[in-house]
Protein backbone atom coordinates (compact mmCIF):
# COMPACT_ATOMS: atom_id res chain seq x y z
CA UNK A 1 0.00 0.00 0.00
CA UNK A 2 1.24 3.45 -0.83
CA UNK A 3 1.79 5.20 2.48
CA UNK A 4 2.85 8.53 0.98
CA UNK A 5 -0.43 10.31 1.64
CA UNK A 6 -1.24 13.73 0.33
CA UNK A 7 -3.88 14.67 2.90
CA UNK A 8 -5.71 17.60 1.43
CA UNK A 9 -8.37 19.98 2.65
CA UNK A 10 -11.00 17.99 0.82
CA UNK A 11 -10.05 14.85 2.67
CA UNK A 12 -10.24 16.72 5.94
CA UNK A 13 -13.72 17.96 5.06
CA UNK A 14 -14.87 14.42 4.48
CA UNK A 15 -13.54 13.34 7.84
CA UNK A 16 -15.09 16.32 9.58
CA UNK A 17 -18.42 15.53 7.99
CA UNK A 18 -18.14 11.98 9.21
CA UNK A 19 -17.15 13.15 12.69
CA UNK A 20 -20.17 15.45 12.87
CA UNK A 21 -22.45 12.66 11.73
CA UNK A 22 -21.23 10.42 14.53
CA UNK A 23 -21.87 12.97 17.24
CA UNK A 24 -25.45 12.36 18.14
CA UNK A 25 -27.15 14.85 20.41
CA UNK A 26 -27.00 13.37 23.87
CA UNK A 27 -28.65 14.53 27.07
CA UNK A 28 -25.70 14.15 29.37
CA UNK A 29 -27.51 15.63 32.38
CA UNK A 30 -30.33 13.12 32.08
CA UNK A 31 -27.80 10.38 31.63
CA UNK A 32 -26.02 11.48 34.78
CA UNK A 33 -29.28 11.59 36.73
CA UNK A 34 -30.02 8.06 35.57
CA UNK A 35 -26.52 7.08 36.57
CA UNK A 36 -27.00 8.51 40.04
CA UNK A 37 -30.25 6.61 40.46
CA UNK A 38 -28.57 3.39 39.38
CA UNK A 39 -25.66 4.00 41.66
CA UNK A 40 -27.92 4.66 44.63
CA UNK A 41 -29.59 1.29 44.16
CA UNK A 42 -26.36 -0.56 43.40
CA UNK A 43 -23.97 -1.75 46.09
CA UNK A 44 -21.34 0.79 46.92
CA UNK A 45 -17.62 0.46 46.68
CA UNK A 46 -17.42 0.10 50.43
CA UNK A 47 -19.91 -2.73 50.27
CA UNK A 48 -17.83 -4.33 47.58
CA UNK A 49 -14.75 -3.97 49.74
CA UNK A 50 -16.60 -5.43 52.69
CA UNK A 51 -17.73 -8.30 50.55
CA UNK A 52 -14.20 -8.80 49.35
CA UNK A 53 -12.80 -8.74 52.87
CA UNK A 54 -15.63 -10.92 54.08
CA UNK A 55 -14.75 -13.46 51.45
CA UNK A 56 -11.13 -13.26 52.50
CA UNK A 57 -12.07 -13.80 56.11
CA UNK A 58 -14.38 -16.63 55.16
CA UNK A 59 -11.48 -18.36 53.46
CA UNK A 60 -8.81 -17.49 55.99
CA UNK A 61 -10.72 -18.34 59.15
CA UNK A 62 -11.35 -22.01 58.35
CA UNK A 63 -7.74 -22.36 57.31
CA UNK A 64 -6.58 -20.86 60.56
CA UNK A 65 -8.98 -23.05 62.50
CA UNK A 66 -7.73 -26.12 60.65
CA UNK A 67 -4.15 -25.14 61.44
CA UNK A 68 -5.00 -24.69 65.10
CA UNK A 69 -6.76 -28.03 65.20
CA UNK A 70 -3.79 -29.65 63.56
CA UNK A 71 -1.46 -28.12 66.11
CA UNK A 72 -3.78 -29.10 68.90
CA UNK A 73 -3.98 -32.65 67.64
CA UNK A 74 -0.19 -32.75 67.54
CA UNK A 75 0.00 -31.62 71.13
CA UNK A 76 -2.73 -34.09 72.04
CA UNK A 77 -0.71 -36.90 70.57
CA UNK A 78 2.37 -35.78 72.45
CA UNK A 79 0.38 -35.49 75.62
CA UNK A 80 -1.14 -38.88 75.10
CA UNK A 81 2.29 -40.39 74.72
CA UNK A 82 3.35 -39.11 78.11
CA UNK A 83 0.06 -39.64 79.92
CA UNK A 84 -1.09 -42.90 78.53
CA UNK A 85 -2.07 -44.47 81.80
CA UNK A 86 -3.93 -41.42 82.87
CA UNK A 87 -6.18 -41.43 79.88
CA UNK A 88 -7.20 -45.04 80.26
CA UNK A 89 -10.76 -44.66 81.38
CA UNK A 90 -14.15 -46.23 80.92
CA UNK A 91 -15.31 -43.29 78.88
CA UNK A 92 -13.29 -44.51 75.99
CA UNK A 93 -14.26 -48.11 76.43
CA UNK A 94 -16.62 -47.81 73.53
CA UNK A 95 -13.80 -47.49 71.08
CA UNK A 96 -14.87 -49.43 68.09
CA UNK A 97 -13.56 -52.44 66.43
CA UNK A 98 -12.39 -50.33 63.54
CA UNK A 99 -10.04 -48.53 65.81
CA UNK A 100 -8.61 -51.78 67.02
CA UNK A 101 -8.21 -53.02 63.49
CA UNK A 102 -6.47 -49.86 62.44
CA UNK A 103 -3.91 -50.38 65.16
CA UNK A 104 -3.54 -54.07 64.58
CA UNK A 105 -3.17 -53.62 60.84
CA UNK A 106 0.04 -51.67 61.15
CA UNK A 107 1.91 -53.50 63.81
CA UNK A 108 5.45 -52.75 62.83
CA UNK A 109 5.99 -49.05 63.13
CA UNK A 110 3.33 -48.27 65.64
CA UNK A 111 3.84 -51.16 67.94
CA UNK A 112 7.50 -50.33 68.07
CA UNK A 113 6.60 -46.89 69.26
CA UNK A 114 4.33 -48.07 71.97
CA UNK A 115 6.75 -49.41 74.59
CA UNK A 116 8.86 -46.30 74.65
CA UNK A 117 5.84 -44.11 74.63
CA UNK A 118 3.63 -45.81 77.12
CA UNK A 119 6.12 -46.61 79.82
CA UNK A 120 7.15 -43.37 81.44
CA UNK A 121 9.22 -43.96 84.54
CA UNK A 122 7.08 -41.99 86.94
CA UNK A 123 3.75 -43.61 86.22
CA UNK A 124 2.49 -45.73 89.10
CA UNK A 125 1.69 -49.29 88.22
CA UNK A 126 -1.87 -50.13 89.06
CA UNK A 127 -2.67 -53.30 90.82
CA UNK A 128 -6.04 -54.22 89.34
CA UNK A 129 -6.22 -54.92 85.65
CA UNK A 130 -9.35 -53.98 83.79
CA UNK A 131 -10.53 -56.26 81.00
CA UNK A 132 -9.85 -55.60 77.36
CA UNK A 133 -11.87 -52.46 76.80
CA UNK A 134 -9.45 -50.03 78.43
CA UNK A 135 -6.80 -51.34 76.12
CA UNK A 136 -8.71 -50.05 73.16
CA UNK A 137 -8.77 -46.71 74.81
CA UNK A 138 -5.09 -46.94 75.39
CA UNK A 139 -4.33 -47.81 71.84
CA UNK A 140 -6.50 -45.00 70.67
CA UNK A 141 -4.83 -42.53 72.91
CA UNK A 142 -1.26 -43.52 72.54
CA UNK A 143 -1.16 -44.25 68.85
CA UNK A 144 -2.00 -41.95 65.98
CA UNK A 145 -4.63 -43.87 64.09
CA UNK A 146 -5.89 -43.55 60.58
CA UNK A 147 -9.28 -41.97 60.16
CA UNK A 148 -11.95 -44.27 61.40
CA UNK A 149 -15.64 -43.60 61.27
CA UNK A 150 -16.49 -44.70 64.73
CA UNK A 151 -13.27 -44.10 66.53
CA UNK A 152 -13.74 -41.53 69.21
CA UNK A 153 -10.91 -39.10 69.32
CA UNK A 154 -9.80 -37.94 72.72
CA UNK A 155 -10.15 -34.28 73.27
CA UNK A 156 -9.11 -31.98 76.00
CA UNK A 157 -12.70 -31.54 77.06
CA UNK A 158 -13.03 -35.21 77.90
CA UNK A 159 -9.81 -35.53 79.74
CA UNK A 160 -10.90 -34.25 83.18
CA UNK A 161 -13.90 -36.58 83.10
CA UNK A 162 -11.64 -39.47 82.23
CA UNK A 163 -9.20 -38.96 85.03
CA UNK A 164 -11.85 -38.78 87.72
CA UNK A 165 -12.70 -42.48 88.32
CA UNK A 166 -9.14 -43.87 87.81
CA UNK A 167 -10.23 -47.48 87.33
CA UNK A 168 -6.89 -49.21 87.91
CA UNK A 169 -5.56 -49.33 84.38
CA UNK A 170 -3.53 -52.05 82.75
CA UNK A 171 0.24 -51.72 82.80
CA UNK A 172 1.30 -49.96 79.68
CA UNK A 173 4.22 -52.23 78.93
CA UNK A 174 2.02 -55.32 79.20
CA UNK A 175 -0.49 -53.78 76.90
CA UNK A 176 2.16 -52.98 74.37
CA UNK A 177 3.49 -56.51 74.47
CA UNK A 178 0.04 -57.92 74.05
CA UNK A 179 -0.63 -55.62 71.22
CA UNK A 180 2.56 -56.71 69.50
CA UNK A 181 1.67 -60.36 70.02
CA UNK A 182 -1.81 -59.92 68.55
CA UNK A 183 -0.37 -57.99 65.66
CA UNK A 184 2.04 -60.80 64.92
CA UNK A 185 -0.89 -63.24 64.99
CA UNK A 186 -2.72 -61.09 62.60
CA UNK A 187 0.18 -60.79 60.22
CA UNK A 188 0.60 -64.57 60.26
CA UNK A 189 -3.11 -64.91 59.52
CA UNK A 190 -2.73 -62.58 56.60
CA UNK A 191 0.09 -64.68 55.23
CA UNK A 192 -2.02 -67.81 55.60
CA UNK A 193 0.27 -69.29 58.25
CA UNK A 194 -2.59 -70.68 60.32
CA UNK A 195 -0.39 -73.07 62.29
CA UNK A 196 1.80 -70.19 63.31
CA UNK A 197 -1.27 -68.32 64.45
CA UNK A 198 -2.30 -71.19 66.68
CA UNK A 199 1.21 -71.39 68.09
CA UNK A 200 1.23 -67.73 68.88
CA UNK A 201 -2.21 -67.98 70.43
CA UNK A 202 -0.95 -70.74 72.70
CA UNK A 203 2.12 -68.72 73.56
CA UNK A 204 -0.06 -65.73 74.37
CA UNK A 205 -2.19 -67.87 76.67
CA UNK A 206 0.90 -69.10 78.48
CA UNK A 207 2.54 -65.74 78.74
CA UNK A 208 -0.32 -63.56 79.90
CA UNK A 209 -2.24 -64.75 82.88
CA UNK A 210 -4.89 -62.08 82.68
CA UNK A 211 -4.75 -60.81 79.16
CA UNK A 212 -6.47 -57.70 77.95
CA UNK A 213 -6.71 -58.86 74.38
CA UNK A 214 -8.15 -62.29 75.08
CA UNK A 215 -11.18 -61.75 72.90
CA UNK A 216 -9.10 -60.53 69.96
CA UNK A 217 -6.71 -63.43 70.40
CA UNK A 218 -9.53 -65.96 70.46
CA UNK A 219 -11.14 -64.38 67.46
CA UNK A 220 -7.91 -64.74 65.50
CA UNK A 221 -7.76 -68.34 66.65
CA UNK A 222 -11.24 -68.89 65.22
CA UNK A 223 -10.10 -67.48 61.92
CA UNK A 224 -7.02 -69.68 61.93
CA UNK A 225 -9.16 -72.75 62.59
CA UNK A 226 -11.41 -71.68 59.78
CA UNK A 227 -8.38 -71.43 57.52
CA UNK A 228 -7.34 -74.93 58.55
CA UNK A 229 -10.85 -76.29 57.87
CA UNK A 230 -10.92 -77.82 61.34
CA UNK A 231 -14.66 -77.64 61.73
CA UNK A 232 -14.90 -79.60 64.96
CA UNK A 233 -12.34 -77.46 66.73
CA UNK A 234 -13.89 -74.36 65.24
CA UNK A 235 -17.34 -75.12 66.59
CA UNK A 236 -15.90 -75.89 70.02
CA UNK A 237 -13.91 -72.67 69.93
CA UNK A 238 -16.99 -70.71 68.93
CA UNK A 239 -18.94 -72.08 71.85
CA UNK A 240 -16.06 -71.31 74.19
CA UNK A 241 -15.83 -67.80 72.75
CA UNK A 242 -19.53 -67.18 73.27
CA UNK A 243 -19.22 -68.34 76.84
CA UNK A 244 -16.01 -66.59 77.73
CA UNK A 245 -16.66 -63.31 75.95
CA UNK A 246 -20.42 -63.16 76.09
CA UNK A 247 -20.61 -59.41 76.30
CA UNK A 248 -17.82 -58.65 73.89
CA UNK A 249 -18.63 -56.89 70.68
CA UNK A 250 -16.76 -59.52 68.67
CA UNK A 251 -19.07 -62.29 69.84
CA UNK A 252 -21.63 -61.72 67.09
CA UNK A 253 -18.95 -61.84 64.46
CA UNK A 254 -17.36 -64.88 66.04
CA UNK A 255 -20.59 -66.81 65.50
CA UNK A 256 -20.43 -66.14 61.77
CA UNK A 257 -16.78 -67.00 61.27
CA UNK A 258 -16.28 -69.41 58.37
CA UNK A 259 -19.81 -68.93 57.10
CA UNK A 260 -20.57 -67.94 53.53
CA UNK A 261 -19.22 -64.48 53.87
CA UNK A 262 -16.88 -64.81 56.78
CA UNK A 263 -16.24 -61.52 58.41
CA UNK A 264 -12.69 -60.93 59.30
CA UNK A 265 -10.74 -58.30 61.01
CA UNK A 266 -9.42 -57.26 57.62
CA UNK A 267 -12.42 -55.18 56.83
CA UNK A 268 -10.49 -52.62 54.89
CA UNK A 269 -7.63 -54.76 53.63
CA UNK A 270 -6.45 -53.38 50.35
CA UNK B 1 -29.78 22.00 55.16
CA UNK B 2 -32.44 22.11 57.84
CA UNK B 3 -32.87 20.49 61.20
CA UNK B 4 -31.90 16.84 61.52
CA UNK B 5 -30.52 16.80 58.03
CA UNK B 6 -33.85 17.39 56.25
CA UNK B 7 -33.57 19.66 53.27
CA UNK B 8 -35.37 22.96 53.42
CA UNK B 9 -38.30 23.53 51.11
CA UNK B 10 -36.34 26.08 49.10
CA UNK B 11 -33.49 23.64 48.69
CA UNK B 12 -35.66 20.92 47.28
CA UNK B 13 -35.09 20.23 43.63
CA UNK B 14 -31.58 21.54 43.80
CA UNK B 15 -28.74 19.15 43.30
CA UNK B 16 -26.96 18.27 46.48
CA UNK B 17 -23.40 19.36 46.79
CA UNK B 18 -20.95 16.56 46.21
CA UNK B 19 -19.81 14.93 49.38
CA UNK B 20 -16.18 14.71 48.44
CA UNK B 21 -13.92 16.18 45.78
CA UNK B 22 -13.73 12.79 44.10
CA UNK B 23 -17.46 12.96 43.38
CA UNK B 24 -17.16 16.30 41.63
CA UNK B 25 -14.19 15.07 39.64
CA UNK B 26 -16.13 12.00 38.62
CA UNK B 27 -19.12 14.10 37.62
CA UNK B 28 -16.90 16.29 35.48
CA UNK B 29 -15.42 13.22 33.86
CA UNK B 30 -18.89 11.87 33.22
CA UNK B 31 -20.05 15.00 31.46
CA UNK B 32 -16.85 15.29 29.47
CA UNK B 33 -16.56 11.74 28.26
CA UNK B 34 -20.12 10.43 28.14
CA UNK B 35 -20.33 11.19 24.44
CA UNK B 36 -17.05 9.43 23.77
CA UNK B 37 -18.21 6.33 25.59
CA UNK B 38 -21.56 6.43 23.80
CA UNK B 39 -19.83 6.71 20.42
CA UNK B 40 -17.50 3.84 21.33
CA UNK B 41 -20.50 1.70 22.18
CA UNK B 42 -22.14 2.64 18.88
CA UNK B 43 -18.92 1.88 17.07
CA UNK B 44 -18.83 -1.57 18.63
CA UNK B 45 -22.13 -2.46 17.06
CA UNK B 46 -24.77 -1.36 19.55
CA UNK B 47 -27.92 0.51 18.67
CA UNK B 48 -28.62 3.84 20.42
CA UNK B 49 -30.65 2.27 23.23
CA UNK B 50 -28.07 -0.39 23.88
CA UNK B 51 -25.37 2.28 23.73
CA UNK B 52 -27.16 4.24 26.46
CA UNK B 53 -27.23 1.19 28.68
CA UNK B 54 -23.63 0.37 27.87
CA UNK B 55 -22.49 3.89 28.72
CA UNK B 56 -24.29 3.69 32.05
CA UNK B 57 -22.59 0.42 32.82
CA UNK B 58 -19.21 1.75 31.76
CA UNK B 59 -19.48 4.69 34.11
CA UNK B 60 -20.74 2.44 36.88
CA UNK B 61 -17.54 0.44 36.52
CA UNK B 62 -15.49 3.61 36.24
CA UNK B 63 -17.08 4.89 39.44
CA UNK B 64 -16.28 1.68 41.24
CA UNK B 65 -12.70 1.82 40.08
CA UNK B 66 -12.29 5.55 40.31
CA UNK B 67 -8.72 6.24 41.34
CA UNK B 68 -7.35 3.09 39.77
CA UNK B 69 -6.91 4.76 36.40
CA UNK B 70 -5.48 8.05 35.29
CA UNK B 71 -8.20 10.64 35.76
CA UNK B 72 -6.43 13.11 33.51
CA UNK B 73 -6.59 10.78 30.53
CA UNK B 74 -9.38 8.31 31.22
CA UNK B 75 -10.28 7.57 27.62
CA UNK B 76 -8.07 4.48 27.22
CA UNK B 77 -9.68 3.00 30.30
CA UNK B 78 -13.17 4.01 29.26
CA UNK B 79 -12.66 2.65 25.78
CA UNK B 80 -11.47 -0.69 27.12
CA UNK B 81 -14.43 -1.01 29.47
CA UNK B 82 -16.80 0.08 26.71
CA UNK B 83 -15.41 -2.61 24.43
CA UNK B 84 -16.01 -5.31 27.01
CA UNK B 85 -19.43 -4.05 28.00
CA UNK B 86 -20.45 -3.82 24.37
CA UNK B 87 -19.15 -7.31 23.77
CA UNK B 88 -21.24 -8.60 26.65
CA UNK B 89 -24.32 -6.78 25.45
CA UNK B 90 -23.85 -8.07 21.93
CA UNK B 91 -23.41 -11.57 23.23
CA UNK B 92 -26.61 -11.28 25.20
CA UNK B 93 -28.38 -9.77 22.24
CA UNK B 94 -27.04 -12.56 20.03
CA UNK B 95 -25.57 -10.10 17.62
CA UNK B 96 -23.12 -12.00 15.51
CA UNK B 97 -20.91 -9.23 14.31
CA UNK B 98 -18.33 -8.89 17.03
CA UNK B 99 -15.94 -6.70 15.14
CA UNK B 100 -15.71 -3.00 15.55
CA UNK B 101 -17.59 -1.23 12.83
CA UNK B 102 -17.99 2.44 12.10
CA UNK B 103 -21.16 4.12 13.15
CA UNK B 104 -23.65 3.66 10.33
CA UNK B 105 -24.61 6.91 8.70
CA UNK B 106 -28.25 7.20 7.83
CA UNK B 107 -28.75 7.69 4.14
CA UNK B 108 -30.24 11.01 3.18
CA UNK B 109 -33.09 11.00 0.78
CA UNK B 110 -32.75 13.24 -2.23
CA UNK B 111 -34.37 16.63 -1.79
CA UNK B 112 -34.31 16.40 2.00
CA UNK B 113 -32.52 19.36 3.53
CA UNK B 114 -30.14 21.72 1.91
CA UNK B 115 -27.63 20.79 -0.72
CA UNK B 116 -24.75 21.44 1.64
CA UNK B 117 -26.20 19.09 4.21
CA UNK B 118 -26.84 16.52 1.59
CA UNK B 119 -23.30 16.85 0.37
CA UNK B 120 -21.94 16.51 3.92
CA UNK B 121 -23.97 13.40 4.45
CA UNK B 122 -22.62 11.92 1.24
CA UNK B 123 -19.11 12.68 2.39
CA UNK B 124 -19.80 11.08 5.77
CA UNK B 125 -21.34 8.04 4.15
CA UNK B 126 -18.30 7.59 1.93
CA UNK B 127 -15.93 7.81 4.89
CA UNK B 128 -18.10 5.44 6.89
CA UNK B 129 -18.20 2.89 4.10
CA UNK B 130 -14.47 3.23 3.53
CA UNK B 131 -13.72 2.70 7.21
CA UNK B 132 -16.04 -0.31 7.23
CA UNK B 133 -14.01 -1.85 4.42
CA UNK B 134 -10.75 -1.52 6.36
CA UNK B 135 -9.45 -3.97 8.93
CA UNK B 136 -11.17 -3.37 12.25
CA UNK B 137 -8.02 -2.36 14.09
CA UNK B 138 -7.00 0.13 11.43
CA UNK B 139 -10.38 1.79 11.28
CA UNK B 140 -10.47 2.02 15.07
CA UNK B 141 -7.05 3.61 15.21
CA UNK B 142 -8.20 6.13 12.64
CA UNK B 143 -11.42 6.84 14.50
CA UNK B 144 -9.72 7.34 17.83
CA UNK B 145 -6.82 9.39 16.57
CA UNK B 146 -8.36 11.45 13.79
CA UNK B 147 -12.09 11.51 14.47
CA UNK B 148 -12.00 11.57 18.28
CA UNK B 149 -8.78 13.55 18.45
CA UNK B 150 -7.09 11.35 21.02
CA UNK B 151 -3.32 11.68 21.37
CA UNK B 152 -1.34 8.88 19.75
CA UNK B 153 -0.03 7.78 23.14
CA UNK B 154 -3.54 7.32 24.49
CA UNK B 155 -4.58 5.42 21.39
CA UNK B 156 -1.54 3.22 21.76
CA UNK B 157 -2.43 2.58 25.40
CA UNK B 158 -6.06 1.90 24.62
CA UNK B 159 -5.32 -0.58 21.86
CA UNK B 160 -2.12 -1.97 23.37
CA UNK B 161 -0.05 -0.95 20.38
CA UNK B 162 3.18 0.93 20.02
CA UNK B 163 3.00 4.55 18.98
CA UNK B 164 4.82 3.65 15.81
CA UNK B 165 2.15 1.07 14.97
CA UNK B 166 -0.54 3.66 15.62
CA UNK B 167 1.00 6.08 13.14
CA UNK B 168 1.51 3.29 10.63
CA UNK B 169 -2.16 2.32 10.81
CA UNK B 170 -3.23 5.93 10.48
CA UNK B 171 -1.06 6.47 7.43
CA UNK B 172 -2.47 3.38 5.78
CA UNK B 173 -6.03 4.39 6.64
CA UNK B 174 -5.51 7.87 5.30
CA UNK B 175 -4.07 6.48 2.06
CA UNK B 176 -7.09 4.23 1.59
CA UNK B 177 -9.47 7.03 2.45
CA UNK B 178 -7.73 9.52 0.15
CA UNK B 179 -7.90 7.11 -2.71
CA UNK B 180 -11.59 6.48 -2.08
CA UNK B 181 -12.30 10.22 -1.96
CA UNK B 182 -10.31 10.88 -5.15
CA UNK B 183 -12.06 8.17 -7.09
CA UNK B 184 -15.38 8.38 -5.23
CA UNK B 185 -15.24 4.64 -5.00
CA UNK B 186 -14.48 2.26 -2.22
CA UNK B 187 -11.29 0.21 -2.44
CA UNK B 188 -11.94 -2.97 -4.40
CA UNK B 189 -15.17 -1.63 -5.85
CA UNK B 190 -15.60 -2.59 -9.49
CA UNK B 191 -17.04 -0.03 -11.85
CA UNK B 192 -19.81 -1.51 -13.90
Mean pLDDT, chain A, rounded, equals 68
* pLDDT value of residue A103: 46
Q: Nearest CA to CA, how far is A53 from chain B (Å)?
A: 16
Q: What is the pTM of this model?
A: 0.44
Q: How far is B93 from chain A (nearest CA, A)?
A: 22
pLDDT in tens, A19-37: 888 887 888 888 888 888 8
A108 contact partners, CB below 8 Å, separation of at least 6? none
B101 within 8 A of B41, measured Cβ to Cβ: no
Interface of A with B in 37-96 (CB under 8 A): 38-39, 42, 45, 48
pLDDT of A86 reads 41
Quickly count: other Cβ atoms within 10 Å of residue A63's Cβ.
9
Burial of A51 (0-12, 13-18, 19+ CB in 10 A): exposed
A202/A206 Cα distance (integer angstroms): 6
Chain B positions touching A50 (Cβ under 8 A) are none
Contact between B128 and A1 using a beta-carbon 8 Å cutoff: no
Stretch (H or E) spanning A59: helix A45-82
Q: Please count the other Cβ atoms lying within 10 Å of the Cβ belonging to residue A19.
A: 17
- Asked if the C-beta of B34 comes within 8 angstroms of chain A's C-beta atoms, the answer is yes
Q: List, as ranges, residues 114-143 from B with C-beta within 8 Å of A.
A: 120-121, 123-124, 126-128, 131
Residues A195-234 have pLDDT tens digits of 899 999 999 988 888 888 888 999 999 989 998 888 888 9
Whether residue A42 and residue B60 make contact (CB cut-off 8 A), yes or no, is: yes
Amino acid sequence: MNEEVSWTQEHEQHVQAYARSTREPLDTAAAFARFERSRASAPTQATDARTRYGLLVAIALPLAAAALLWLASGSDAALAETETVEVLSPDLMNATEDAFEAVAKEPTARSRRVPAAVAPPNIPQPSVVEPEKPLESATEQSLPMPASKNATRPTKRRRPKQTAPAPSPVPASALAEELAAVASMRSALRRGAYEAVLERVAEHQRRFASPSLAAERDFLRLEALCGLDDEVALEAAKRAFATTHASHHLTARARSVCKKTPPTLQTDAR
Amino acid sequence: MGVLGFRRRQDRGKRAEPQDPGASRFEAMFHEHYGFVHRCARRYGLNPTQADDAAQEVFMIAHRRFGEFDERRPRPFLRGVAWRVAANLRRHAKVRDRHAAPIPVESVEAGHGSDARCHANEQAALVSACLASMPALRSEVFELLVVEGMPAKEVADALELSTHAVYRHVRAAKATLAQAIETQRLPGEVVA
